[in-house]
Amino acid sequence: MPAGEFDARNSPVSTEILKVEVVVVGAGPGGYVAGIRLGQLEKKTLVVEKTAPGGVCLNVGCIPSKALIHASKVFEQSAHGQDIGIHVENPRVDIERLQKWKASVVGKLTSGVRQLLKANGCDYRQGTATLLSPRTIQLVESDRELLIEAEHIVIATGARPVQIPSLPFDGKRIVDSTGALDFAELPRRLVVVGAGYIGMEIGTLYAKFGSKVTFVEALPTILPGSEAECVQVVARRAKKLGMEVLLGAKAKGLVDKGDVAVLSVETANGVVELEADKVLVAVGRKPNIEDIGLEIAGVKTAGGFIVVDRQMRTSVHNIFAIGDVVGQPMLAHKASREAEVAAEVIAEKHAEMDAQVIPSVVFTDPEIASAGLTVEDAEKRGHKVKVGKFPFAALGRAIANFDTDGFAKVVMDAESGRVLGVHVVGAGAGDLISEAALAIEMGASAADLAMTIHPHPTLSEAIMEAAKAAQGEAIHILNR
């Protein structure tokens, strides 16, 4: 028997053996998509997951957070409806009912994943999986354990929040993003350690519900990595919402005094103390690659991630990895595309991860959405650029929606006219960015965007107008 192989006959325990063509470990937006696609390709596949199908994204991340973000926007609009002649007396938040509604949204989607897996001929089991060899997995279910023998394995185990040693999660005072989306009552004072996209999204929704929100960020800016001008718009809105931001600050420790907790924060002006009912720690996420048997199977890692090639194949020929475990950006839609690539390679189809751009969205208020290069990145790569911007304040639909903060920006190569990047900050930015991603994937020019007739009145006209502005041909603003 080759080195590293596992022989079930030598197992000291009599264990059920299940044979499949492919086993997918993890049922998040990477894992369940891999299972569905493999089923479509007529591969006998088993998807295993510790908890409910859908992973972090559907159960405790993307979907529940967006449900609460939507609810907070509805609440804010009702509280300020008098500005447009709609009077709502004393709006209040029923947190218990809100949480039940959020759970119903999650339930619909997770049950839908189960049905899709089944309909595509893919089996699903719940339990903890560990690699015993490149072709064998031990699955521990609630009432039994079994061995799974597979020709191929896809690792899609996702990621988890990073803990700060001085602020360990206790689920009561100190929570991660999962806990922050499941409060039984609204915190009067919420301190958010980390002003990245997760912290800013959650902090903003509670600020709209009336919580006093303070951010503690070690870096000199909120939303590091996002387009700088877009961030400025969000920062101004955060100030209007009454949120306080401490930049260049580090959380040092928490003292629980019973009715309130006090967080010590080191700033440039000395140590300050912040009172908090809840502290959300949102300083990043780390991949779940420990204790799943990677070393036993011979799968190589580097920098805390699993090493893969463009076909999502690891150092072990029959083992693939997708999603958060293979590196940045840790985004659900990236994981889903990688899942399709891995499935098609396993089915002996020609496929590889060759995306020109992976769009990103930050669901703050207003939203930030980006595809492609910023001006700074483009110039570093040797491009001479032209930039076109169109403000939402000049956009008919945005004015009618009473939501005019923000703009669309098109970054164009000055010589070829090719679109290098598009950045949108404003209401609905996340729904607008796909057009930009398609343009970049197709190598479209700013003229292509500008000459594409966009329906009026819509928010999408902002991208068309920004593309015109990059060429000095904007209609509804003065050209620079």
Segment 137-148, tens digit of pLDDT? 999 998 899 999
Distances (CA, A) of 441 to 201, 326, 373: 28, 22, 13
Mean of pLDDT values over 453-461: 98
Q: What is the pLDDT of residues 346-375, one digit of tens each?
A: 999 999 999 999 999 999 999 999 999 999
**Helix-strand-coil percent breakdown of the chain, rounded to 5?**
35, 30, 40
Residue-level pLDDT at 167: 95
Structure tokens at 255: 């003292």
Residue-level pLDDT at 80: 84
Residue-level pLDDT at 11: 52
pLDDT band with cut points at 50, 70 and 90 for residue 4: low
Question: Based on the number of CB atoms within 10 Å of its own CB, is 437 exposed (0-12), middle (13-18) or buried (19 or more)?
Answer: buried
**CA 342 – CA 217 distance, rounded (Å):** 37
Q: What are the catalytic residues?
A: 456
CB atoms within 10 A of CB 209: 22
DSSP 158-172: -EEEPPBTTB---SS
Amino acid letter for position 471 = Q
**CA 286 – CA 259 distance, rounded (Å):** 32
Residue-level pLDDT at 5: 61
Buried b (16+ CB within 10 A) or exposed e, 16-29: eebebbbbbbbbbb
Q: Give the pairing of strands 244-247 and 212-217.
A: parallel
Residue-level pLDDT at 37: 98
**CA 441 – CA 420 distance, rounded (Å):** 10
Mean of pLDDT values over 43-69: 95
For residue 299, give every residue at least 6 positions away whose Cβ sits within 8 Å of its Cβ, in sequence order, or none.
131, 155, 306, 314, 315, 316, 319, 321
What percentage of residues in the chain have a pLDDT greater than 70? 97
Mean of pLDDT values over 4-28: 76
Q: Is the distance from CB of 410 to CB of 387 less than 8 angstroms? A: yes
Mean of pLDDT values over 44-68: 95
pTM of the model: 0.93
pLDDT band with cut points at 50, 70 and 90 for residue 3: very low
Residue-level pLDDT at 145: 93
Q: What is the pLDDT of residues 90-107, one digit of tens each?
A: 899 999 999 999 999 999
Q: What is the pLDDT of residues 229-268, one digit of tens each?
A: 999 999 999 999 999 999 999 999 999 988 899 999 999 9
Residue-level pLDDT at 16: 87
Residue-level pLDDT at 458: 97
Mean of pLDDT values over 172-186: 96
Mean of pLDDT values over 122-145: 95
Residue-level pLDDT at 81: 87
Residue-level pLDDT at 8: 53
Residue-level pLDDT at 12: 45
Closest CA to 204 of 70, 62, 402: 70
Statement: residue 385 has pLDDT above 70: yes
Residue-level pLDDT at 13: 46
Give the position of tokens 């690659």: 289
Supply the DSSP symbol for 454.
P
What H or E segment, with its residue span, contains residue 335? Answer: helix 332-346
39: helix, coil or strand? helix
DSSP 208-240: HTT-EEEEEESSSSSSTTS-HHHHHHHHHHHHH
- Domains recognised in the chain with CATH numbers: 8-161+286-346 (3.50.50.60), 174-283 (3.50.50.60), 360-470 (3.30.390.30)
pLDDT band with cut points at 50, 70 and 90 for residue 7: low
For residue 401, give every residue at least 6 positions away whose Cβ sits within 8 Å of its Cβ, in sequence order, or none.
427
Residue-level pLDDT at 246: 97
